[in-house]
Amino acid sequence: MENNKETKSATQELEAGQAKLQDAQYVLRLYVAGATPKSIRAIENIKRICEEHLKGRYDLEVIDIYQQPVLAKGDQIIAVPTLLRKLPPPLRKFIGDLSATERILLGLDLRPK
Amino acid sequence: MEKENKKQLDEELAELRIRLQEAEETISAIRGGEVDGIIFSGPQGEQVFTKTGAEQAYRLLIEAMNEGAVSLNQEGMILYCNHRFAEMVKTPLERVIGTPLRQFVRASDQPLFDALVKKGAQESGKGELVLIHNDGTVLPVLLSVSASQTAHVRSIVVTDLTAQKHIADELKRHREHLEELVKERTNELETSNQQLQKEIAERKQAVEERVNLQFQLNQAQKMEAIGTLAGGIAHDFNNILTAILGYSEFALFQLPEGSKAIEDIEQVIQSGKRATDLVKQILTFSRQGEQMHKPLQIDLVIKEALKLLRSSIPTTIDIQQHVVDCGLVMADPTQVHQIIMNLCTNAYHAMRETGGELDVSMEVVELTKQDYLDTLALQPGPHVKLSVCDTGCGMSKELQERIFEPYYTTKQQGEGTGMGLSVVHGIIKSHHGHITVYSEPGKGTEFHVYLPLVQAQDEGLAKEAGGEILPGSGTILVVDDEPTIGEMLKRMLNSLGYEVLLCSSSTEALEVFTQQRAHIALVLTDMTMPVMNGAELARRIKLLSPTMPVVLCTGFSAIMDEKKARRMGIDGYMMKPVILHKLAQTLHDILEKKSGSRPAG
Ligand SMILES: Nc1ncnc2c1ncn2[C@@H]1O[C@H](COP(=O)(O)OP(=O)(O)OP(=O)(O)O)[C@@H](O)[C@H]1O
Ligand SMILES: [Mg+2]
């Protein structure tokens, strides 16, 4: 979280195109482990965030690692729940039940820096 | 350059920092219990480890299922099963887990089971098999083996098929029953349909047959009526001609040589003979003519006739012939000759203007009941079929119906008498044969003649007459109820050198014969007489004197023909009008034979 400043400086060029992100299409993937309490919470949280901040321009996939463990390997997931920001770049991972909304919004570049 | 390098290094550094941050977050999340599961990737694939309670929802589902659920390790040992499965195999849960599943599978289904489980390593599969209970009862089940995605564990769902099987059996029975009903009904319908078709066909055929038979009958009756009429007239005519010819010949005999009347009388005789020929034709048509049926190879006669025709018919007409030995027919060669000549002459006339092809062919055909039923006239058996076909003008249907009537012709006067086909018809009838015609106007005509083949040979050959007038001697008893004819015969015989005893009735003749039989060399009798006919008289005479030659003389007889006469022991048979030289020949032959055979007998 503290790294935000560094990220900012290191990604000046991307930040230059910040305005563009207002319209960018988001592809998110959430890995869960069946109907465990944290997985259920993670699903509920990301669903809420998307509806509030990305309405109409996001694509959310929820994957149960019991059903499709191979996908988890491809995405180098080691623990669940994990949210993956696939698009727009850069690729980012968020672990846990996604209850820290502000941190998620920052990580998704949905908060001005 | 340096600036660009620095920028790239900065970017990489930033990325690495984020990764590090993510890694730290992950570790702290795991440590802090923020995750439910951890995934390990190893050589055995992905394995998921979840915290206690994570699987609870699935477990509840699985335990609530009506299906059996089983997990197997690689060796086929049951690692886990739900309560339902334990029920299915009627074994306590704690005794099922840790034992091989295979032991619950019926022996004959074990290969299938092994294949399913083996296949389960790569892909899912299903198979129906039978489980054996601990108490020996059986349970049909469906095994659904899931491909294992984590580790080498097979997950198997076991579905009880008893109910389905029962329903399926019921359905099958029901369907089979329905099918049976449908089949039965279809069969019934088919049978009745066939029956109906058959009846329709039969009825149609019967109607056709009746129409055909009616037509044939009408034709036959018409021809019969015409025949009888013509025969009757011809008979009377014959008697008159007999007198005319007889007296003329007699007059000729008496005239001194060089007399002018000789030529006149010869003219009378000539005309009389022509008239006799005509009468003969009519009699032939009415089947009352003189006939000499003998076993005949008719192909020889036909070849002879065709040779004659070829020389008289122009070459614009191509004669094709397929005339082969077809066996023997009881026939009169002259009449067979006449048949072929008349048919071919007609064919020639039909093609005279256009030219064409005349085809004469013969073959043996075996006629069956069906065939002769159609024609009324034929008996079943082998027949010679003689066909005369032309490519001439042909005939309309109406014309075809009348062609066999005597004097029916479409030719101009002097060109045709209209007797040709009537004669052919009569000849064929008297040979127990049949003639059919098929013709299309403008295309041509086919005549088919059927004559029965001789099966058991019949030797009844008659000798042909001819040559000069042969004189004779001895007493002849002449019997004729017609005085003019009797008188004429007497004169004829006298002129030949015979003595004559003349009687005008058979009773009188029998009396005379009884008294004077020692002097009598031969009896010449008319056939048709009141009280006792010629045949009966002959029989009585033969009773009195078996070797006494009897010659029968007749103008017209439906009840007598040469063959019959011979069978009765009658030695000679003559058609009226009696021609002098024929009379001379007949008597000469008989008497010579008698005197020749006398020393031997
Ligand atoms: N092959 C044929 N083609 C066409 N018409 C025929 C044929 N044969 C016979 N006819 C027809 O049948 C009629 C009767 O034939 P039939 O032989 O009885 O008498 P005809 O030929 O006219 O005279 P005849 O034979 O006495 O000289 C003929 O006039 C002719 O119209
Ligand atoms: Mg003719």
Q: What is the CATH number of the domain that holds B423?
A: 3.30.565.10
Q: Is B392 in the pocket of ligand 1 (CB under 6 A)?
A: yes
The stretch B408-426 carries a mean pLDDT of 84
- B191 assigned to some structural domain: yes
Q: What is the pLDDT of residue B233?
A: 77
pLDDT tens-digit readout, B532-559: 888 899 999 999 999 999 998 876 554 5
Residue, of B208 and B60, whose pLDDT is higher = B208
B450, B480: one domain: no
pLDDT of the residue at B72: 77
Average pLDDT, chain B: 82
Same-domain pairing of B144 and B74: yes
Residues B66-103: pLDDT tens digits? 888 887 777 777 777 787 888 888 877 666 766 788 88
> Is the interface score ipTM higher than 0.90?
no
Distance B290 CA to ligand 1 centre (A): 24
- CA-nearest of B349, B341, B321 to B445 is B349
Q: Are residues B241 and B257 in the same domain?
A: yes
Q: Which residues of A touch B39 (CB under 8 A)?
A: 65, 69, 72-73, 77-80
Task: Read off the pLDDT of each residue in A78-105 and give the average, rounded to a whole number.
Answer: 86
Q: Which domains, from first to last, does chain A contain? A: 25-107 (3.40.30.10)
Mean pLDDT of B190-213: 87
What is the Å distance from ligand 1's center to B420 Cα? 7
A17 interfacial to chain B (CB closer than 8 Å): no
Gap between the Cα atoms of B255 and A54, Å rounded: 157
CB pair distance less than 8 Å for A73 and B46: yes
CA distance linking residue B367 with residue B283, whole number of Å: 29
CATH code of B144's domain: 3.30.450.20
Closest Cα in chain A to B20: A3
Residue B279, pLDDT score: 82
Structural domain count, chain B: 4
What integer is the mean pLDDT of B237-251?
85
Greatest mean pLDDT among B129-138, B191-200, B270-279 lies in B191-200
B25 to chain A: nearest residue by CA? A95
B143 and B239 inside one domain: no
pLDDT at residue B393, rounded to an integer: 94
Averaged over A14-28, what is the pLDDT? Answer: 64
- Do B171 and B309 fall into the same domain? no
For every residue of A9-75, DSSP letters joined together read HHTHHHHHTHHHHTTPPEEEEEEE-TT-HHHHHHHHHHHHHHHHHSTTSEEEEEEETTT-HHHHHHT
pLDDT at site B62 = 76
Co-location of B231 and B296 in the same domain: no
Interior angle at CA B214, CA B213 and CA B215, nearest 5 = 90
What is the percent of chain B with per-residue pLDDT over 70, rounded to a whole number? Answer: 84
- More confidently predicted of B474 and B457: B474
Q: Which residue has the tokens 């009388």?
A: B265
Report in angstroms the alpha-carbon separations of A4 from A106, A108, A109, B107: 8, 12, 10, 68
For the segment B20-35, the average pLDDT, to the nearest whole number, is 80
Query: What's the mean pLDDT in B349-377?
Result: 80
Q: Which residue has the higher pLDDT, B318 or A56?
A: B318
Domain carrying residue B73: 60-160
Lowest mean pLDDT among A78-82, B25-29, B397-401, B468-472: B468-472
What the block records as the tokens of B147 is 């491909």
> Considering B160, B187, B207, which residue would you say is the last residue of a domain?
B160
Answer for the pair A28, A58: CB distance below 8 angstroms, yes or no. Answer: yes
| Residue B422 within a domain | yes
Note whether B150 and B121 are within 8 A (CB): no
Beta strands across the sheet bearing B37-42 = A79-80, B37-42, B45-50
User: How far from B508 is each of B18, B478, B502, CA to CA, in Å?
Assistant: 164, 11, 10
Same domain, B482 and B348: no
Query: Are B357 and B266 contained in the same domain?
Result: no
We report the CATH number of the domain holding residue B558 as 3.40.50.2300
Residue B469 has pLDDT above 80, yes or no: no
Whether residues B418 and B443 fall in one domain: yes
- A16 confidence band (pLDDT: 50, 70, 90): very low
B126 has a pLDDT exceeding 90? no
Reported confidence tier of residue A2, pLDDT bands at 50, 70, 90 = very low
